[in-house]
Each structure stands twice: as C-alpha cells, then as structure tokens.
Structure 1
Amino acid sequence: MSVVGWSSGSVLARQPTGRRWSSGPTRAASTNSGASWLPTERSPDADVSRSGHVGVRLSEHHVHDPRPSMTQHARHHIRLNSPATSFLEAFLLGNGRLGAAVHGLPGCERLDLNLDTFWSGGPLSSAERHDRSQWLEPVRAAVRRGDHEEAQRLAQELQGDTWSQSYEPLGGLLVRFGDPSDEFVLEGRELDMAAAIASSWSSGPRGPVRLRSWISAPRDVLVIELSGATHNVVLDLDDPHGAEYVASHENVPGASEALVHTWAGRAPVAVAPDYLGDVDEPIRWPTDEPDASGLVDAGMGFAIAAITQRTGPDEVRVIVAAVDGYRGRTARPSADLSDLRRRAVDQVVALWEVPTETMRAEHEAEHRSWFDRVDLDLSASSAQEAGAHVDAARAEQFFDVGRYLLIASSRPGSQPANLQGIWNDDTRPGWSCNWTTNINLPMNYWPAARLGLGELTRPFASLVADLAELASTTARDVYGAPGWALHHNTDLWGFSAPVPSTAPTDPHHANWPVAGLWLTEQLAELERFGVDLSVDLWAITAGAAEFALHLLEPDPDGRLVTNPSTSPEHDFLVDGVPFSVSAGTAMDQQLVAEVFDSLLELAAAGRAPADATAQALTERVREARDRLRAPRVGDDGVLLEWGETWEPADRGHRHLSHLYGLFPGASIDAQRTHALEAAARLALRDRIDHGSGYTGWSQAWILCLAARIGDTDLVQHSVDVLVRDLTSASLLDLHPVPNHPTGFRFQIDGNLGGVAGIIESLVSARDGHIRLLPAPPGTWPAGSVRGLVVEGGHRVDLTWSEGRVERVRVTVGRAGEIRVSGPGVADILRPVTTGDTIGIDS
C-alpha cells in the first residue's frame, strides 16, 4: 500500500534556540513491503535490523567529525540552520533529466524524486480532435459588430474537450540513518551551487553525521554519501502511485552479490488541473494491462533502483537510478515494469566498483563547465550601503540560484524546464506543472543566452520544433488555418488546443492562439545572441506567419488586426461588464510584427527555400507587414492593452502582456519608437501603481522592463521585492496561492526571469550598441561580472566602482560595427571581426 503522506515518519520539533532541529523517536511509515524498514545491502558484516531486514551498520569506533566550520557567508553557497518545513524550502539537485528536492531532515532524510519525462496521460488521440472552424467567422463577425457578449459566448465554441496533462512526482525517497528510536539534531545544511552538492550535518546519540547528495550528469544517477556515526542505513519510498517494492540479489563486480531495492509503478492515465477544484475523479489511475509489447495508450511505467554500499569504516553511499516508459511525443509509452526495473538495476549495479571520489570529481567538473562561465561578484558593495534594501550579497545569491536552477533543469537531450523546472512533489500539481506558454515557458529561457548557456536552450528549441508540426492540427481543426496554433499551455505530448469552457478557463485563459508566435520569436532572439538552435527556423517561422496571416483582417481604417484576439488572462470592461474577446490587442500586434520581421530577415539572408511557395509567403508577409496596425496609445499617453480605450478589469494585473514589445521583444525602443516607448513607460507605471508584481514571475518581468528603460530606482525596488518578499528560505521563487497549505507554490520562472533582469541592468545591447551599467541598483555601487553575452554573441567582462565603469573587455561574436558606452566610458564606435577583443580601462 502506498504511503499518502509521511508525517508519521519523522516528527520535527523546534529547539528553544530556534536554530537546531531534531527528529523525534517515531518510525517512518512503510510502503508496499509489508514491513517498516526495508533491506539495503547483503554484506558479510551487515547486521539484521529488528524487523528482520538487512541494514548497513557503520563502525561506532574511531568516527571522525564530519562537520565543517560554518561561516556566515560563502560565495555560491546557501547555508541554513533548520530543515525544510515544506518542499518550498528544499535544496534542489538535477542534471536536466533526474531531479531531487533535498529537505535536510535529521535522522531520516527525504529526497523528492522526479524525471523530466514522467507525466500523466499519453499521446494525443485523434478522437479528441473535432472540427470547430465553423465557429471562427461568427466570432469574428460579433467582434466587428461590437457585440462583446456574443463574441464571448461564441469564442467558447472554439474551445476543446480536454486539458493538458500533469508533470508527476516519482515519490519521496526516505533515507533513515539511525534506529527509529534515535533522536537527531540538525546542525546545519548547505547547497554548494558551484559544485551542485547538497549537504547536511546532524548530531545523534553516537556522534555527528554528514549527509551529502548530488546528481551526476555523466552517470545519470543520484548519489547520497553518509559519513560519521550513522547506524542501520535504511531506505523507503513515500510513493503516491502504488508502486510495488521488490528486493533482488544482483551480481556485482568484485563481490558475490548485493541487494538492490526497486520500486515500479505507473503514472495516472489523466489528471485534472488543480484549478478546477473538486471534480469527479480528479486523478484517474490505470486499470488496463500493457499489450504484448509492454505498451499502453496512457499511464506510462516507471522504476527506481537503489543500492547501498559501505565505502569506508564510517562511510556508506547510496546510488539511485530512475527510468520511465516515455518513448516520444507521439509514441505509446511503455508500462513493462519488468523491463524498466531491469534498466534501473543495471544502472546502479554498473557503478559498484567506481569510486565515489571519481564520480564526484567528474560530476563537479561537468557542472562547473556550465556554472563557471559567468561570475557576478558584488562583494565590493558594502552591506552598510543597503540600508532598508536587500544587501548586495543576498542579491548575488539570488542571481546564482537562478542560473544554478537553469543548469540543473535543462540540458541537451532533456525536456525543457517546466513550471517548476524538473521538481514537483504533488500528484495534482499547481497549474499541472506544465509548460505555460503565455509567460512561464518563454521566461524560463530569457537568461540562458545572456549567461553564455546557449546549449541549454536546445530542449526549448526542440519542443518548439515539435509543436510546429503537432499544433498544425489545432490550426486546421479550430481555425481552418494553415501553419500552427498553440494556446496558453502545452505538455509532454504536445497539447495545443484551447482548453474547455469551464470556469475559470473562460476565453481570457483559453482563447489566446498566438503562443506559437511568442515561442518562434524567442528562437529568433536566441539566434541574435549567437545560439546555434539546431532546428529549422525557417519552417517554424513560416508556420507561425501563415497562421498569423489567417488571423488578420482589416479594421475600419484598413489596417490589419488579429481577430479574434485576447490579452492573456485579462479582461476589459464595457459598462462594468468584463469581456475578453476583441480584435488587435497590443500583444498580438507586437508579436505579429516581430514574427513578420524575422521571416523577412531570414528570407533576406537566403535562408528561405528556393521555391515558389516560400517566395509567395515572403511577399504576402511583406505586404501585410506594411499594413499592420501599430499598438495604440490613449489620450492620456498610456499604451493601450486593447485596441480601444476600455477600462482594464484589473489595473494591477500580474501579466504585462501589452509591454511585450519593450521586453522581451524589440519592437518598442527609445531610439527607434520614442513615442511608443514613452507610452509603454506610462503603462508600466500605471500597472505598478495599482499593485502589479505580487507574484515572483510578474515582479521578475517588471525588473526586466525597468532595466530596459533604465529606471534604476524601479530595478532596486524589484530586486528588493523578489529577493525579500517572494522567495523561500532556499531562495526559490514563490507564487501566492491562498488555498495551498503553505500559501505559496514554487514557480521557477521568477528565479530565471529575475536573473535576466539583473543582467539587463548591468549590460544590454541592441543593434550593435552595447550599453554598460544602464540601470544597476544603487546598492551595487561596485562589483564585477564576467562572461555575460549580449545580442550579437559578444561576451562582456566588466568591473565598476562608484557607479562608473572601471574596466571592460568585450570579446566579439558577430563581425560588424560595435558601439560601447556607459558611465565613465567615452562612446567607442569601431568595426570588428569575430574573435576581436576591445579592452577599456578608466
């Protein structure tokens, strides 16, 4: 029987000092084995535990003290004195595929496990697709008439019958390192972001214990090292999927055999989004049997294997591998649990003779090959200068956490980082823990190229390329259109339809069909930063442009606008009544303009196929671009979110969609579109004055916008709010959720978007002009950063003091002409070739 919760396994009690935590003498709940404590390894010197199972006992003599000297602050480290009170405060480990959330619990550690491809559901069925395109023209006609109520009603006819599927947890691995009656006190825990290692130190009745965990990319396993006075190391799994436990004796190199623990089960067939509330059968579990090939339509299988091994007189290591039955977005997954068990077992057994030091060294070297590409050092900015603001050291930590999380959750060959990266402990997670395309997925990759981590965007590019093919059915079935159409979220299986018309998924959520344009333009931006995407950007852009052309029609003035059109998750008011559906919202018009510009640039660069179809599309796009209506400005000078001067339903709304063209887009710029930029500034100020930025990702977007317009005070404010108010103790970004037990959910986009905003405040580039220190917070008067990449693929190393550039080195990416400017630097304009360096000392 699966364990639903594990509170009975370890009761935490706060000590009077508020600094040390202890585990009480309770025992962990059993999972599936029928006994409380599961076996670890068959070993000549292993003792039999009270429950009759074998546990690894470490020597109780000559135990060295594993505790470090804990200083108050160390760069690239997070140090805490209490365990995680929830998933939100855990330290996260990952290699892009396998993830673990480490809680730092004394006596019985918990590591929540995930795999990037372990989702509910299965490939999309043709039975789920219906032709709804006959409703498009009635919707458009209602919009033209100004019949908002009818347009709202008819838009729901375009919506589908199903939701996206959910990213699933594997379960919580419990590592007990003492007798159930032992009481342990936590001394401290630490995440070393430069090494990607989580450690904790605790004291028990036999002395101190260190537990150190890391996930190896080269070996694709989780390694847990225990040293000190551990006793009876025992493993268990807090499993939400009803997995079956099996212990098997396996031949291992250099020894007769070892005991390997495995758990195997299946994902749900379907999971209803949590925002639907109480519904019938919110989680549908599989009841079918795999076919002769071990395949199923939905509900893939998974297996976890773990092996424990004594590696020294007071040292034990645990090696954990996990696999699932994912075989591709359109392929039926495997639920052959025997095969999955064998694959997982083979992974851990193969590492029996590999020294821990070898694995740790190669893990750290591989991780540092990413992490060491950039370093932001704000130690020259004194904490005394912060005053009421977040001090520079804490902001630096926040920056490091963000880039660490990107490296841990997105690697070549993995899936893209989802709403929570690759970490989730809920079977019915917030917003399905999917890829939300109206902000979260794009924001996840805003910092990647800027950090010189362009290779980490390959999973994103691969997903977009897949969607450009899979979502063509949605363009055809819903809109009768060519190209491809993606709405406000997607999943492992390439879901692209508008979700059903069930509250709260009314048209302002569901009927936003231009997500594909945003993702396409993000790929174009990555190329401008010098990233090799390894996808056919022409084909993706052409499909997005074809769909956009189908959405466009003339307004009363003959200018082209999208119809129907919505602004993500926001309504306008007409006579006090909220509506969503109109024509030519600001974001739509900006996205269409930028995608059209990108296609014309590709054609001009000779990247279009040399055929009549491509030539005809290019000409149609060129003509439509000239007729496209620009975003409108109200009489008060504020950029309008919709095409008319309607009152927003929420002037402090979390989304800042109408400001897309300012950031991350490029269609609004102080130099080229001064009037629009001024209108965008006013729109941003109006949003903030009415309370926007109350979620982590929303505040991160504000930070990016503030940096783009050079507003140092607003940059400072956003950094303060993000770091002080909207992060957990382990600096994970928080999204307020009143109905959640903790009051929050983790959303990784706030961490990653915040990194992008910090970079933009320090160095930015547009059209060959590199701006140094455009908007650094006032609490960072001095510092240095190396390895940042700007548009053009140029690498920038920068040192500043007293708010002025002290030294800069630019390594040229793309040949051409470069202009460099900033406080303390006279404008420099010169022609350059790839590989040149420009060095400036004040």
Structure 2
Amino acid sequence: MKKIVFFFLFLIYQIVLHAQNHELWYDKPASVWTEALPLGNGYMGAMVFGNPEQEHLQLNEGTLYTGDPKGTFKNINVRKSFKEVTDLLNAKKYQEVQAVIAKEWLGRNHQLYQPMGDFWIDFEHKNNTASDYRRNLNLSTATASTSYKIGKTTFKRTYFASYPNHVIVIKLQAEGTEKINCTLRFTTPHQSTTHFEAKGNALTMQGKVAGFGLRRSFEQVEKLGDQHKYPELYDKSGNRKPEIENMLYAEKADGLGMSFESAIKAYNKGGSLVSDKDKIIVKNATELVLVFSAATSFNGFDKSPAYEGKDPRKLVENYFKAIQGKSFDVLYKNHLSDYKKLYDRVELELAAESPQSKLTTDKRIELFSNGKDPSFPTLYFNYGRYLMIAGSRIGGQPLNLQGIWNDQMTPPWNGAYTININAQMNYWPAEVTNLSECQEPFFQAIKELAINGQETARNMYGNEGWVAHHNTDIWRHTEPIDNCNCSFWPMAAGWLTSHFWEKYLYNGDKKFLKEEVYPLLKGAVQFYQGWLVKNENGYLVTPVGHSPEQNFLYGQNKQGTFSAGPTMDVAIIRESMSRYVEACKILGIEEPLLKIVKQNFIQLLPYQIGKYGQLQEWQEDFEDADVQHRHFSHLYAFHPSNQINQFTPELTSAVKKVMERRGDLATGWSMGWKVNIWARLHDGDHALKLLTNLFKLVRSHTTHMEGGGTYPNLFDAHPPFQIDGNFGATAGIAEMLVQSHAGEIHLLPALPKEWHTGHVRGLKVRGGFELDMTWENGKLLKATIYSKIDGNCRVRTNEKLIINHMQAKIAEGANPNQFFSFVKVDKQIIKDSSKLLKLEEPNGFVIDFWTEKGKKYEVVTK
C-alpha cells in the first residue's frame, strides 16, 4: 500500500511540473550517438539509443584511460633557453620565439579517455513494424524510457543510473500477447584483450585498455623531431620500433594498461534465461530487469593501474552484494531520493510554454529561432543541471571535455581536461545552480595537480609553488603537451584555485578557506612571484606568455603567439595575489611572502585600452590575427573574474567593444561564454541572441571546428561534441537572472524582453544566500533571500520609480519604518532602522542590511 501511495503522489507531482521543460523526447530511435540519451551516476555513463529491434547502450567508466602515471616526458628546462627566448622577444622576433619554445619547452601528447564497450539487446519480434513509438529522458527523475507497439503488445523500457547503489538499471516489460524474446551481449573496441562470459543470470566482460595511446600520427611525431619523447615507439636513434601502433596493448606496452570489469545480472518474470558462452538468451518473459555495474583497476593518479591497481572484479562483486535482494522498486526509490535532493533544489520558469513547446526536442531546437518557444532555454538549463548531477559526483572523476560520455578510441583532444577554460567552464554552474557537491571531483583533481605541479615548477622553472599548463589527464600531468603553441601556458593554477575561492564566497566556510583554499592559493602565488619580471616601464609582467588560443599580427602581416605580459596572464596573477592577501587578512596570517606580494601587486601592469576602444589583449596594442576568434581570454578580468564590473565603467565599455568586434558567431562553447559576458554587460536581449545562435540544430557528428550549435540530444556542438558549452550556457542563463560578483546581489540584471514573466527558486548567490524570485512584465515582484550565514547583504533592483519615491519620502523626514515592507525578516517587519541602509543609485535601487543565519528576508516592490 505504501508503494502505491508513494508512486501516486509522485505521479501527481510530475503532472504539476511543466513537463515539456523537464523532458527530452523523440518519436524515433537514435540513429547516431549524438541522438542517443545520456545516463550517468557519476561513475558510469551510458548512451541509450532506443531501437525497437536492437537496443544499444554505449558504456563508459569515468576512470578508464590509457597510459600510466609515469608515461610522460619531464625533461623540460625553461631556464636553459630562457635568455635566448626573452632576447628574441625584446627584438620582436616572435616567430623565432615560437620555434625555440616548440623545440625546447613542450612535452608529449597526454593519454586518452576510453570507451568501455557496448551492451546490446537483440529482440525477436513476430514482426518488426513498430507503432506509437516514443523515447524520452525525464530530467526531474533522471529516468529514460522507450515505448512502442508491435501488433497488440506494448513494449516498455525504463532506464536509470543510481549513484547510491553504483548501478545502471533497465526494466523491460511486455503488455499484451507477445512476450520478451531477446539476446543479451557485450562488445568492446578493446577486443584483443577482452574476455566475455555468460554464467547463470550473469553476463561479464573483462578487458584491458591500451597501456599507451597516441593521438598523433607517427609522421607528426617525426616531423616535430619528438621521437625521444616516445620510448614506447622509437629506439634511441629515433627509428620506429617494429610493429608499433597508436594503441599498444599488454606485452607491447610492457604489461601496462588499465583493467576493467563490466557485469550485467538479469532477473526475469515468466519465461526462461539460458546462458550460452558469451551471451544470455531470454525466452517468453513478461518482464526482465537488468542490473549493470562496472569498475576498473584505477587506484589513484600516482599509482600504476597495471602493477598497483585495484581488482575490478572484486569491486563489481561488492557492488552486487550490496544490492542483493533489492527489487527494481527499491533501487528506483533509492535513486530518486538521492537525485531529487540535488535536482529539486532549483525550479525555473522563464516564459510560458507554447504549442511549439510540445514538439519533439530536436524539432524545438530546429525551430527555436522563430521566437515561438520562449520557454525552451528552461529545458536547456534543466538539462545542464541534469548533466552535472549525472556526470560529476563525490568519489568519481571530474567532467572532461566529453563529460563522462565518449564512444571514440581517440576522442577529440584525447577527452582531456583542457584547463585554459574548458574544464573550468564545466563547473561554472555548480555553485549558482545549487550543486556545490558536484564540483568535489574537480577540487580533488586540482589538489592532485598541485602535487605534480610542485615538481614541474621546481624542475622546469626553478620556482617555488605549483604550476599547471593548458591540458592534463587522469594522471594529472602538469607539463606542457606537444605540437601546440597554446600548450606553453603556465597560468592554470590561479584559474583553477579561483574555483575554491568562489566556493568560499558562496558558502563562507572559514575552515574550508584555511585548509583547502589558502594552501593552493599560496602555491599559485609563489610560482607567479618567481615568474614575473619588470618591463621597460617598471611594471611587472610575465616574461613569456600568450593569450589562449589567439595570435597577433606584426611586421609584414606575420603572426605571433608569444609575447611578454599578455592581459590574461596579468589578470589571473592580479586576482590570485589580491585573494591571497585577503585570505591572509581573514585568517590572521602574517608571513614574509605576504609583504612581498603586497608590494608587487601594485606594480602589476594595469589594464589598457587600445586604438579601437577595446580592452587590449596584449601588452602591446597588436592587431588580432582573427578578430572573431572563439577565445577572448583577455576578458578574464570581467568574466569569470570580477575585477572589471559596472563600477569600472571605462574598462567595462572596453570589454563591450571587444565583444562587438568578436561578433555573435562562434563554436558552441564559445557562444556559451559569450552569453555570460553579455549578461554581465546587462544586455539580456543580446545574451538571448547568443543562446539563439547556440540553439541551432546540428545533425551531423562532424569533427570540423566551425558552425557551433546543438545536437538533437541537446549536447553542445563545438563541433565536435564538447560538454563545456552545455555548462557555460546553463551558467549564463543563471547570470541573466541574478549576479553577485560585484559585491551585491543584482536581481534581474539582464532579463530579455521574451522572459518578461517568470520565477526561479533555489539559486545561490555569493555571501551565503539562496534566492527565490518572481517577476512580471519585466519587473521584479518579490525576492526571498535565505541567509545561510551571518553577514551583510546588499541587494540591487532595477525599479527606479520606487527608489525615487522612497528617497523623496526619506528626504522629507518621514519615518523610514513605514517603508520597511520592502524588507521583511520571517514576515516580521524590521523595526531597527540601523539595520537597513537605502542608497540612491542612478540605475536602480540598492538596499543594504545585516542578515542572521537561518533567517528569511523578503524584498518586494509593491
């Protein structure tokens, strides 16, 4: 009876929700990977295709990478050729600088994120004519389903991925005269090292990925003269070893390679199960429940998975033991309870649904630009939060360029963590959309990077502190990679540490500041202290840097990459130094480094405005090699940092000029970043224009880096698929509704005209607050602010009429208590006028008041 009541109440709850914006749905199966629907539990990912004749789940496990911790090239010494490089820079011989850096300062290609395999269900239907087909992904329950009819029988499939139970579960049902007849089997691209076995009701796949993987061609390696960096492939004379391949398995890789185990257990109602060598045959079942789990031998970033690894078989056995005897309903209830604690924290309605909102998801993407489906960004926002919960949970790995989902042996850019923006962008929505716990894998990876980064800082630069460059993998290598000028970029530590600082700003945890933030921040600053030099005008700059991943023009239309003191370098260092000083102040720390940093901070190169009125990208006012380049890294100080904001109008105007020159077209993730920039420029209609450009349907699974948009399954099309665009745009939608980076909570700072009426519940803002908000006809009606810590709260609205009215009343000497209906504490009017300060502002109304932990405050406009 309790189960019936639970599911009945749950059903009512789902009906009340705006279903179209919590559901992806389609009227045909997925024909390609970017049409399949993603499931994930933070450890494993699955892409569900939903074909009536042959179900296909493409499978991933988040730790499954090629390589080994020692598989890198560390023999890089910047000091050896430092004077040569800086002399060439001073002589403005920029291309000659590139040649030296490419030869002396780069490492080798990092390792590859691997697909684990594929699970197939081959069905035997009496006929193959399916009708009433529907497949969907319900974001509010993290549940996928497929249904169709054959003859008089309705077939249903339900799928979910459980974080608490470390499993993916599939339930097949047949309602009618026909039964479930199918064959269950695994395949994998790692065929040569894999064993399949069916025994009883269990089907297992045991395998091993390559101990070494190379994305480059041998010709590329040899053209670069990098044979000495790849002893797996070349002898000491630089000649290819016999029978070498891009993927080296088992004995060809000296026994290296990560092992994995995948297992499915089948439970049938009616009919029979027969195990047959490497498959299970199901006959005449009315219901079939399949429970899947997987593990690898990964045992940490610094341990060989081949020689110091965990036993994946034992791990999988333990996962199944933990759920022994638990029914589908119990597993599903556990999943829902866990998932909804995160997903239900935020509820968003941006605009009313329309007839177009009821179309299939791919059709909604295709038609979005016609303006008849203004609520569609709500679905995209909800999907971004879903992907965060599905792909990044405590105990798992952080989201890489593909999140947790990848079907390719050589994924784009190796399935790396690209840390000159992409990995960071993945976590932009974490705090503001109330998913703070989901960034813990990212934090753990950064702490591991800092360990390796200390060695790299010492050996490569002779510096204290820690350093990381523009790319890394599960082994947390911190050296520059090969074959890309962009890879020599020793600035990542500051940007990565800023995520720790942001968590502190959102949550106010001084213990976290002391134990987690401060050590990383100090290490980043220590490295920058050793890297800075004085320019000819006495300002401190980086001696060699570049603006990811843009070039500049010089001389007779030549292109250069490296120069001294590019703007992004200085912005990251300025941010890191100022936050280090602030952390020391808060924590009461006095140390010799602090005095040096304070002195050097005021000597950093200031931001400069160039000949077009733009914020300069480089120390010198070079021309852009590509004025519409997808990166605009010099705007770091504006976003994601807060050094330039509405209170620095001249520099903000220079930021806007950059964006106007960059234009509104870009690759997918770049458009996600542009949404955030235009939101911070308080231009909601322009931000929505970028979202409209992003919501351009891309059907083909292309690898060409142009024409960004959105795939039918809502994955971001860079192209190819890069998940950072999903998260960047999700954060951008939140940024259009509330901003808190400039020392105040700005309500509806960039509301587009199309989102004139709506509400949001549960967004987080800096200062330790959560926010609910309702607006109508483009104006705020009410905001409820929940204080999680004691502290000051400053709120800005755009309601000029009310401000002027209040200021006039106060000027007339009226009792201010009569106006405290604007701020209520637990619905009780504040009586102490000293707790509320009203500030006259030309562009809005600001109230400033003290908050108490656990209290609720209402800000209303009428």
| TM-score, with length taken from structure 2 | 0.82
1:127 CA drift (Å):
6.5
Contact 2:745–2:795 at 8 Å: present in 1 too?
A: yes
Contact 1:402–1:752 at 8 Å: present in 2 too?
A: yes
Separation of aligned partners in 1, 2:764 and 2:781: 19
Match of 2:535 in 1: 555
SS at match of 2:201: strand
Separation of aligned partners in 1, 2:380 and 2:269: 36
Contact 1:113–1:169 at 8 Å: present in 2 too?
A: yes
Which of the residues 258, 281, 303 maps onto 1:331? 303
Separation of aligned partners in 2, 1:96 and 1:468: 23
Separation of aligned partners in 2, 1:306 and 1:273: 32
Separation of aligned partners in 2, 1:525 and 1:333: 34
1:74 CA drift (Å):
3.0
Which of the residues 599, 622, 634 maps onto 1:623? 599
Contact 1:115–1:422 at 8 Å: present in 2 too?
A: yes
1:283 aligns with 2:302: no
1:394 CA drift (Å):
1.3
1:301 aligns with 2:282: no
1:718 aligns with 2:690: yes
1:557 CA drift (Å):
0.6
Which amino acid in 1 is paired with 2:711? S
Contact 2:195–2:207 at 8 Å: present in 1 too?
A: no
Separation of aligned partners in 2, 1:304 and 1:426: 18
Match of 1:117 in 2: 63
Match of 1:734 in 2: 717
Between stretches 700-709 and 272-281, larger displacement belongs to 272-281
Separation of aligned partners in 1, 2:493 and 2:692: 33
Separation of aligned partners in 2, 1:757 and 1:267: 38
Task: Note the 1:460-479 alignment, pairs <5 A.
Answer: 460-479=442-461
1:604 aligns with 2:576: no
1:137 CA drift (Å):
2.7
Q: Residue 212 and residue 277 in structure 1: after superposition, are their counterparts in 2 closer, same or farther (change >3 A)?
A: farther
Contact 2:298–2:310 at 8 Å: present in 1 too?
A: no
Q: Residue 805 and residue 835 in structure 1: after superposition, are their counterparts in 2 closer, same or farther (change >3 A)?
A: same
Which amino acid in 2 is paired with 1:471? G
Match of 2:564 in 1: 583
Separation of aligned partners in 1, 2:314 and 2:351: 50
Separation of aligned partners in 1, 2:220 and 2:104: 25
* TM-superposition CA deviations, 1:603-648 (whole Å, max 9, x none): 101264x6xxxx1111111111010011221133111111111111
SS at match of 2:641: coil
Q: Residue 210 and residue 275 in structure 1: after superposition, are their counterparts in 2 closer, same or farther (change >3 A)?
A: farther
SS at match of 1:357: helix
Match of 1:262 in 2: 204
Match of 1:91 in 2: 37
Which amino acid in 2 is paired with 1:510? S
Match of 2:370 in 1: 388
Match of 2:83 in 1: 137
Which amino acid in 1 is paired with 2:656? R
Match of 2:122 in 1: 176
1:546 aligns with 2:526: yes
Separation of aligned partners in 1, 2:96 and 2:252: 47
Contact 2:131–2:149 at 8 Å: present in 1 too?
A: yes
SS at match of 1:724: coil
Contact 1:381–1:782 at 8 Å: present in 2 too?
A: no
Contact 1:209–1:226 at 8 Å: present in 2 too?
A: yes
Separation of aligned partners in 2, 1:782 and 1:276: 58
Q: Give aligned pairs, total.
A: 739
Contact 1:99–1:423 at 8 Å: present in 2 too?
A: yes
SS at match of 1:414: coil
Q: Residue 636 and residue 803 in structure 1: after superposition, are their counterparts in 2 closer, same or farther (change >3 A)?
A: same
Separation of aligned partners in 1, 2:138 and 2:502: 32
Match of 1:401 in 2: 383
Match of 1:31 in 2: none
Match of 2:392 in 1: 410
Structure 2: 5+ residue stretches without partners: 1-13, 222-232, 234-243, 271-284, 358-367, 698-708, 804-844
Match of 2:323 in 1: 351
Which of the residues 471, 491, 505 maps onto 1:489? 471
1:676 aligns with 2:651: yes
SS at match of 1:685: helix
1:723 CA drift (Å):
2.2
Root mean square deviation of aligned Cα = 2.7
1:528 aligns with 2:505: yes
1:209 CA drift (Å):
0.9
1:813 CA drift (Å):
3.4
1:76 CA drift (Å):
0.8
Contact 1:143–1:583 at 8 Å: present in 2 too?
A: yes
Match of 1:761 in 2: 736
Contact 1:309–1:317 at 8 Å: present in 2 too?
A: yes
* TM-superposition CA deviations, 1:91-123 (whole Å, max 9, x none): 111111111111122221111111111111111
Contact 1:321–1:345 at 8 Å: present in 2 too?
A: no
1:458 CA drift (Å):
1.1
Q: Residue 548 and residue 647 in structure 1: after superposition, are their counterparts in 2 closer, same or farther (change >3 A)?
A: same
Match of 2:810 in 1: none
| Structure richer in helix, relative to its length | 2
Q: Residue 681 and residue 287 in structure 1: after superposition, are their counterparts in 2 closer, same or farther (change >3 A)?
A: same
Separation of aligned partners in 1, 2:18 and 2:52: 21
Contact 1:117–1:324 at 8 Å: present in 2 too?
A: yes
Contact 1:586–1:631 at 8 Å: present in 2 too?
A: yes
Contact 2:21–2:376 at 8 Å: present in 1 too?
A: no
Which amino acid in 2 is paired with 1:93? L
Q: Residue 670 and residue 339 in structure 1: after superposition, are their counterparts in 2 closer, same or farther (change >3 A)?
A: closer
Contact 2:74–2:479 at 8 Å: present in 1 too?
A: no
Task: Note the 1:435-454 alignment, pairs <5 A.
Answer: 435-454=417-436
Separation of aligned partners in 2, 1:181 and 1:272: 46
| TM-score, with length taken from structure 1 | 0.83
Separation of aligned partners in 1, 2:310 and 2:762: 47
Which of the residues 669, 672, 677 maps onto 1:697? 669
Separation of aligned partners in 2, 1:357 and 1:101: 23
Q: Residue 369 and residue 276 in structure 1: after superposition, are their counterparts in 2 closer, same or farther (change >3 A)?
A: farther
Structure 1: 5+ residue stretches without partners: 1-67, 250-257, 291-295, 737-744
Separation of aligned partners in 1, 2:761 and 2:584: 35
Which amino acid in 2 is paired with 1:658? H
Match of 1:838 in 2: 857
* TM-superposition CA deviations, 1:114-164 (whole Å, max 9, x none): 111111111135874344431223212222232213322222244334211
Match of 1:26 in 2: none
1:797 aligns with 2:797: no
Q: Residue 198 and residue 274 in structure 1: after superposition, are their counterparts in 2 closer, same or farther (change >3 A)?
A: farther
Separation of aligned partners in 2, 1:176 and 1:769: 58
SS at match of 1:425: coil
Contact 1:120–1:268 at 8 Å: present in 2 too?
A: yes
Separation of aligned partners in 2, 1:310 and 1:282: 44
